[in-house]
Amino acid sequence: MSWGFWRSLEYFNLFFDDEMFLFTVSETNRYTESFFEDAELTPASRALKWKNTDIGEMKRFLFLLLLQGVVLKPVEKWFW
């Protein structure tokens, strides 16, 4: 990979370090646990397929959100 890519990754890591991702993952998983305790879900609910997230998945999600600001699509659902 080019030097520019690695330099950009260094800048990204200055703003979004593993501690921030660990906190975000922890809070996301904690929120969903509390949501499921109170939710009345039907057997067909997509929420029943939920799996706890991890740092790698959260980084990919943030990357896609940032990419949406660079790669323009006429409809948001085309990103997903």
Q: Taking residues 1-22, what's their average pLDDT?
A: 82
Report the distance separating Cα 1 and Cα 10, nearest Å.
14
pLDDT tens-digit readout, 44-74: 999 888 999 999 999 989 988 888 777 777 7
Residue 14's pLDDT is what?
A: 86
Pick from 55, 53, 60, 50: nearest CA to 80: 60
Pick from 68, 67, 56, 46: nearest CA to 25: 56
Give Cβ neighbours of residue 76 (< 8 Å, ≥ 6 apart).
Answer: 68
Q: Taking residues 10-35, what's their average pLDDT?
A: 92
